Chains A and B, each alone.
Chain A
Amino acid sequence: MTDFITNVTLFVLAAFLGYSVITKIPATLHTPLMSGANAITGITLVGAVVVAGSGATTFATVLGFVAVVMATVNVVGGYLVSHFMLEDFHGGGRRDG
């Protein structure tokens, strides 16, 4: 049960921290914020790696494999599209050409 209380503590603190950081992000960057945040959700890959690799039962392994594929798509795709979008943003002086 102490683990559970620690987890709840982390959850509540992370929610407050997330709120205060994300409210400062300008509307211009809301799309890359979403895809970047989305890539972070791919952290579930960590859990997927554990269940896919442990091979406890065949069924769990199959579930783990599908989860690894989905989470990796999310992580790799999410970070890449955010990168491409953010690279387009430039300000102040105009680019030549």
Chain B
Amino acid sequence: MVEVLSEQVVRLAYLLSAVLFIQGLRDMTHPRTAVRGNLVSAVGMLIAVGVTVLWFEIISPVVLIGGLIVGGLVGAWLAVRVEMTQMPQLVGVFNGFGGGASALVAGAELVEFQAAAGGSFPLELAVAAAVSGIIGAVTLFGSMVAAGKLHGVISTGAVRYSGEHAVKAALLLVAVVAGIYLVVQPDLLSAYLHAAWVPPYWVLILAASVLGVMLVIPIGGADMPVVIALLNSYSGLAAAGTGFVLNNTALIIAGTLVGAAGMILTVIMCDAMNRSLTNVLFGGFGEVATPEEMDEIYEGNITETSPEELEMLLDTAGRVVIVPGYGMAVAQAQHAVAELAELLDADGVDVAFGIHPVAGRMPGHMNVLLAEADVPYDMMKELTEINPTFSQTDVVIVIGANDVVNPLANEDDSSPISGMPVLNVGEADTVIVNKRSLSPGFSGIPNPLFARANTYMLFGDGKESMQDVVNEYKDSR
């Protein structure tokens, strides 16, 4: 195929794509315009890919078209058949693929350069390829482990072992040394290391891949919102790095935008736990509370309740706040919860959802679950918005949440969650906590909220319990 478009036209088309990506993200600032924003962004992508296919000399169109069809079908199939509750792991997988593709493209470019020009790589090319390769491979394998944990095929616990930091440091060192070798290209062992397939790059990829696994394996399930957001950022940075390799402005701008987005979400998630990124990635929580410690707080202070009693409370309530946590997602209780909210709202009760930033397994997890169950977005309130209203609230229903409503965060300076912003549900007249047992949350500490005089425990499966409450409520109308 001859050159159909001049290079200037292609570059201008990339600029248009970048503008559409930015406009698409701007439209994401409100739920009303967000669907349009996503479409605008997709059109930007179509333009960028379209002009690239038209412009570059395509010597092997079968390979290209085959790849596009296979990828398109797999992507569409995954998107259509995924359950909303499986969304965190799917987002993780997609993240990984983006990062992996960037690493492979950078590698392919090195191989092509070697074949076409031979000799040593220009400095910018080698540095950019090394950066893109390390970040991309870490993203791919880190995302796969994160997705495996979220899907329950890899232990969701925090897997810690002695010397783990040394292992990670060693892997990073190998990757960096291989990267430096690419940049400097000494004559050392040249016959082997200067082969056409650019061996040092693949040593780098191998070390970074194992590093990706080792980085995420030790991190527990409840810290996944941070990990997913960080890997999102990395996949963007890998694309930007590949943009430097190829001198491609579309990749640099789009990749950097995503890198910034992921970084902001990472910071928001860490702030919401009052922990540093270093602590989330390399620290983790200590021991789980012993049964004795738990008894000391809970013994004789736990009051149980039933769906019937909760229904009676709701009959006279003027304002109700529902606080969902990961337990709601596990129990798939969102539809029952949404139905309850709708019934209360129809009867003139002031209903709101109080959503903690780290509730669930990815940023905004609770919101998409509730939206799928037809809860209007103006009912979903953020932590800072809902906290001042608890003192005027009659009933709070906590479903499947624990650490995010633990008053120790405010009261006990020595607590592992000290300083973490929490939902101050205890200020309401009555708190109902629906959980299966008194087992501690991710932080491993007991929750004194459960033992308070105005707290009642509704033990049982989230979905069944909420459905029982809904049925009781309907019967009494």
Contact = CB atoms under 8 A, between A and B. Distances in A.
Interface of A: 1, 3-4, 7, 10-11, 14-15, 17-19, 21-57, 59-61, 63-95
When A and B form their complex, which 3 residue pairs have the shortest distance between CB atoms, in order from nearest?
A72-B71, A18-B260, A68-B67
A58 to B, nearest CB: 10
Nearest to B269: A30
Nearest to B256: A14
9 contacts: A27-B367, A31-B364, A34-B232, A43-B250, A45-B49, A49-B49, A60-B112, A76-B71, A85-B84
B239 A77 contact: no
Interface stretch (B23-31, B290-298, B403-411, B465-473): B23-31
B42 A55 contact: no
Contact of A32 (B30, B38, B229, B260): B38
Interface of B: 17-18, 21-22, 24-26, 28-32, 34-35, 37-39, 41-42, 45, 48-49, 52-53, 56-61, 63-64, 66-68, 70-72, 74-76, 78-80, 82, 84, 87, 90-91, 94-95, 97-102, 104-105, 107-109, 111-112, 115-116, 124, 196-197, 228-229, 232, 235-236, 238-240, 242-262, 264-265, 268, 342, 345, 355, 357, 362-365, 367-368, 371-372, 374, 376-378, 380, 382
Given A59-B197, A76-B71, A43 B363 contact: no
B79 A84 contact: yes
A10 to B, nearest CB: 5
A50 B258 contact: no
Contacts of B111: 56-57, 59-60, 63
Nearest to B127: A4
Contacts of A77: 74-76, 78-79, 90, 94
Nearest to A54: B59
Given A31-B87, A83-B35, A38 B94 contact: yes
A63 B236 CA distance: 20
Contacts of A4: 124, 244
A56 B252 contact: no
A26 to B, nearest CB: 7
Given A15-B259, A32-B28, A32-B34, A51 B94 contact: no
Contacts of A14: 18, 252-253, 256-257, 260
Nearest to B346: A94
B47 to A, nearest CB: 10
A76 B95 contact: no
Contact of B98 (A1, A44, A66): A44
Contacts of A35: 87, 91, 94
Contacts of A30: 265, 268, 362-364, 367
Contacts of B48: 43, 46
Contacts of A69: 67, 70-71, 74
Nearest to A36: B38
Contacts of A94: 342, 345, 374, 376
A92 B378 contact: yes
B76 A80 contact: yes
A41 B236 contact: yes
A19 B268 CA distance: 13
B265 A29 contact: no
B376 A91 contact: yes
Contacts of B56: 49-50, 53-54
A68 B228 CA distance: 23
Contacts of B365: 31
B105 A79 contact: no
A74 B105 contact: no
Contact of A50 (B99, B239, B240, B246): B246
A37 B101 contact: no
Contact of B53 (A37, A49, A65, A78): A49
